[in-house]
Amino acid sequence: MNNKILVTGGAGYIGSHTCIELHQAGYDIVVYDNLSNSSYEAINRVSKLIGRPIEFIKGDVRNSELLKQVFATHQFFGVIHFAGLKAVGESVAKPLKYYNNNVSGTITLLNVMKEYNVNNFIFSSSATVYGDPDILPIDETSARSCTNPYGQSKLTVEHILEDLAVSDNNWNLIVLRYFNPVGAHLSGQIGEDPNDIPNNLMPYISQVAVGKLKQLSIFGNDYLTVDGTGVRDFIHVTDLAQGHVAALNYLQQQAVVKENGSDQKSSVGFLPINLGTGKGTSVLELVTAFIEVTKQPVAYQFAERRAGDVASCYASADKAKDILNWEAKLSITDMCEDTWRWQSRNPNGYSINI
Ligand code: NAD
Ligand code: WQD
């Protein structure tokens, strides 16, 4: 079975961790990334960790001509599509940039895949498509709605993929809806490296702990939750990365079934799957765990709720277990330990000049 995979956005936070797990699972990978929100140093480090150079192409997913060259020179089994922009606040200020990158980029990629008869696709979606959920835990049949352009761009791509699956039953389109990815590789060599002041909770906590930021603001302590602070489903990035391997393994099994001709309707079509732990943890619980596990002080204060935040959001992880035979294994303690190992050894992330 062909096991060559194109990983768009493979130099980024989740992509780089996934490259390691894919390599360990025996997949042959080619990374395609424009480095707009990442550093080539991540690729260097992944290469060192896996003990061989990663094949890397610097390119934009909106560049159809370059993508065609890449597809003409490699025969891919499928594509894992991480490439996209992800800052919610920026997306409100620059919606066209987000729709262009995330929606047009995906359409361009899908067109090239179609031209080269590559029909296995794994898309990075987000729990953000569930908006403010009515029922917890959130399963994949829950209503979808979004309140910001970033979320809309993910939801729009989901709709495009649904339409594509209806139009042509050769497509195998797995949509992975990530909850809150945190943590770093066990080696401490790769991790999350925000360009600016972090928007997300865990990098903010770790930058306070390492002394780069003064104090964490906890946005809201009057939610109807266990301690008044927001509740999220934090998932270790290595578990998340392994979820992609499980999704690919599933696509490979389906390809075998189809090849054997035993089931004419064996295409996967549009298949949304949550990647979460199924467990909610409050913001205060995470901060407290981080302080306990790392023995580092983290100054914090309570502040106003952040616009657009929901009180609680955690996954039903049953579908991933049933279909992909995958479940998250790592704990909140692992997430804190591994984040701290990465942050304390790389206080400036991948930039070596500072
Ligand atoms: P990231 O920014 O670290 O990685 C994204 C990568 O894509 C970067 O290396 C960037 O340079 C590249 N990229 C962006 N636009 C591109 C383009 N037009 N052409 C080629 N490369 C491009 O982000 P991440 O946290 O690793 O997220 C990966 C994916 O998962 C994104 O699509 C994101 O929206 C989605 N997601 C992330 C989270 C999260 O909290 N991190 C949660 C849910 C979904
Ligand atoms: C988590 C909790 C904050 C920072 C976002 C995107 C979502 C997905 C994951 C991409 C909330 C609180 C945060 C801080 C705080 N990304 N917080 N102080 O908002 O659940 O999800 O990232 O798809 O689309 O919206 O994650 O880490 O920003 O916040 O108190 O400085 O931490 O209010 O309750 P969120 P987050």
Q: Whose CA is nearest to atom 9 of ligand 1?
A: 12
Kindly list the domain boundaries of the chain, sorted by start residue: 4-345
Tokens of residue 334, six digits: 């692992």
Task: Specify the amino acid at residue 109.
Answer: L
Q: Give 13-35 pLDDT, tens digit per residue.
A: 999 999 999 999 999 999 999 99
Tokens of residue 74, six digits: 């490699």
Report the pLDDT averaged over residues 309-313: 97
- Compute CA distances 183 → 105, 330, 335, whole Å: 28, 10, 5
3-state secondary structure 113-182: HHHCCCCEEEEEEEHHHHCCCCCCCECCCCCCCCCCHHHHHHHHHHHHHHHHHHHCCCCEEEEEEECEEE
Write down the pLDDT at residue 354. Answer: 43
Would you please indicate which residues are annotated as catalytic (active-site) residues?
150
Write down the pLDDT at residue 261. Answer: 77
- Are 311 and 224 a contacting pair, CB within 8 Å? yes
Q: Give 110-161 pLDDT, tens digit per residue.
A: 999 999 999 999 999 999 999 999 999 999 999 999 989 999 999 999 999 9
Write down the pLDDT at residue 308. Answer: 93
Band the pLDDT of 264: cuts 50, 70, 90: low
Question: The complex's ipTM?
Answer: 0.99
Q: How far is the CA of 10 from the centre of ligand 2 (A)?
A: 22
Q: Is the pLDDT of residue 253 over 90?
A: yes
Tokens of residue 179, six digits: 């909850």
Write down the pLDDT at residue 265. Answer: 63
Task: Output the pTM of the full model.
Answer: 0.98
What rounded mean pLDDT belongs to the chain?
96
Please say whether the structural domain 4-345 has been given the CATH code 3.40.50.720: yes
The verdict on the CB of residue 199 being under 6 Å from ligand 2 is: yes
Task: Specify the amino acid at residue 41.
Answer: E
Q: Give 163-180 pLDDT, tens digit per residue.
A: 999 999 999 999 999 999
Please report the atom of ligand 1 found closest to the CA of residue 127.
43
The verdict on the CB of residue 178 being under 6 Å from ligand 1 is: yes
Q: Is the pLDDT of residue 250 over 90?
A: yes
Write down the pLDDT at residue 258. Answer: 85
